[in-house]
Structure formats: structure tokens, C-alpha cells
Amino acid sequence: MRVVMVAKQKGGAGATTLVRELGVAAAAAGKCVVFVDLDPQGTLRGWWNRRTEGVQGDPNPGLATPTPDQMPAALDQLRASGMDLCIVDTPPSVHPFLGAVMRLADLILLPTRPTTDDLDALPAILDLVEEAGRPFAFVVTQVPPGRSRLLDDAVPVLAQRGRVAPPLRIRIDFPVAAATGSAATEIAPKSKAAAEVEAVWHFVSADLAKLARKRARAMVS
Ligand SMILES: Nc1ncnc2c1ncn2[C@@H]1O[C@H](COP(=O)(O)OP(=O)(O)O)[C@@H](O)[C@H]1O
Ligand SMILES: [Mg+2]
């Protein structure tokens, strides 16, 4: 089982949107997915409850509800139960438990809006990520559609500090889908929003596959 964690400095970065869209895309690609919502606001949990109300059987993605200090044991249990992918949503990085949880991740995604205000907030979370020593990548979110000066300016700044995944733009399909516990890839599979999610999922899955190959080589040698 791989653990992907979404972390951010500021609320509203688009973290929960990224988590649920990636989880649904991964499940559609045949993975057994489980979410963990460590944000006390419970936005992911609320969406998942809307999604699974009245649903029979084990939903995919599922939801696990450990506290931050239960995370190591909870991940062991989920791994043993045959999950392929655990995606963890987190509160803004002021929460003291975040560093410890980051060390459990195979990949940390850092969603950020491409505005100066948001980019200025990144060094604090980057310090935590670099301390955790886990692979990470930025995901620029809520980019205005079309040619965007904001995106053009943000990407080189971010690229100096780490890898940059494909962006998600401002698309009404994201909040509309979320209202009914769905994802943009489900309510509008041919939309630009869906294509953007697929591109991020492709980036993430390629990264996790690379990790698997590296581990396999390490076991052989
Ligand atoms: N790419 C996007 N396009 C349109 N609305 C978005 C997008 N990403 C997030 N939102 C909306 O912005 C708000 C904050 O997003 P959310 O994913 O909850 O951020 P966070 O979890 O980082 O606080 C939500 O209302 C969400 O629906
Ligand atoms: Mg959130």
C-alpha cells in the first residue's frame, strides 16, 4: 500500500478537492483506495458520508478514521487488509502532529493557489516537508482558465524548490460534483476538469510505480 498525503499551509488551497478527485480516479483505475481525514473540520468525511449514504457493501474509496497518533498502527492495518492506496487529507500545517504524519507518506502533494499570498506561505510547510525527507510535488490549483499569467509566474518559482505536477484550474464541476458526494470525473467525464484530474493522477501513479520499481531493485540487491 502506498500513502499519499496532501499538505498545505493555508485553508482553501484546494487540498480536499484534490484528495477526493484523486481517490475517485484511483478507484476507477482499479485501485483499492482508502481515505483518511485528519482535518478536524471533516470536509472530506462529510463528502464521503454524502457519497456513501444508502450504499450497500464496501465503498471504494473507503474511509478510515484514526487520530493522528493512531496513524502508524492504522496504516499497518489498512496495508494488511489489502488496500492499494491511502490518501490522507490534513489541516493547515499549524497543527503540531503534521511533521510526524508526513514521515509516513510515500509521496506528499502540496496544493497551492498561484497567487503571491499563497506562494509566500509555502516556505513554512516546505520546511516541514524537507524535514520529513519524503518525496513531494507541488500541485497548482484554482488557476484561472485559459492562458494564465499567474500560472506562468508561479511554476518557475515552485520548480526551484521541487517538482510541479500538472495544474487544476478553476472549474465549476469540482464544487458541483462535491455537493452530491461525487467527483468531476464522474459527473462530467469528458470535461476539462476531468482531464486535469486524470493528468494529476497519471503523475501520481507514475511516481508510485517508480517507487515500487526502486523497492523491488533494493530487495533483489
Ligand atoms: N479547482 C477548483 N475549481 C473550483 N473550485 C474549487 C477548486 N478547488 C477548490 N475549489 C473550491 O474552493 C473551496 C476550498 O477548496 P478545498 O478543496 O476545500 O480546500 P482546502 O481543503 O485546502 O481547504 C471549496 O469550496 C472548493 O469546492
Ligand atoms: Mg480541506
Find the radius of gyration of the CA atoms of the chain: 17
Domain that holds residue 138: 2-220
Q: In what order do the strands lie in the sheet with 107-112?
A: 62-64, 33-37, 85-89, 2-6, 107-112, 136-140, 163-165
Q: How far is the CA of 50 from the centre of ligand 2 (A)?
A: 16
Ligand at shortest distance from the CA of 178: 1
Q: Which atom of ligand 1 is nearest to the CA of 89?
A: 21
**pLDDT digit string (tens) for 131-158?**
999 999 999 999 999 888 999 999 999 9
Atom number of ligand 1 nearest to Cα 141: 1
Mutate to test the pocket of ligand 1, among 5, 6, 17 (most ligand atoms within 8 A of CB): 17
pLDDT tier for residue 215 given thresholds of 50, 70 and 90: confident
Q: What is the CATH number of the domain that holds 51?
A: 3.40.50.300
| 14 CA → ligand 2 middle, Å | 7
Q: pTM (2 decimals)?
A: 0.96
Cα distance between residue 80 and residue 153, in whole Å: 44
All cell numbers assigned to 142: 484554482
Please identify which residue in the block is written with the cell numbers 516556505: 123
The structural domain count of the chain equals 1
Residues 155-198 pLDDT 10s: 999 999 999 999 999 999 999 999 999 999 999 999 999 999 99
The percent of the chain in helix, strand and coil, each rounded to the nearest 5, is 50, 15, 35
* 134 CB-near residues (< 8 Å, 6+ apart): 102, 103, 105, 106, 107, 108
Q: What percent of the chain has pLDDT over 70?
A: 100
Residue having the nearest C-alpha atom to atom 8 of ligand 1: 14
Query: Candidates 174, 180, 196: which one to mutate for ligand 1, based on the most atoms within 8 Å of Cβ?
Result: 174
- Beta-bridge partners for 36: 64, 88
Nearest ligand, CA of residue 169? 1
pLDDT surpasses 80 at 221: no
**CB contact set of 125 (below 8 Å; sequence gap of 6+):** 7, 8, 9, 93, 110
Q: Is 24 helix (H, G, I), strand (E, B) or coil?
A: helix
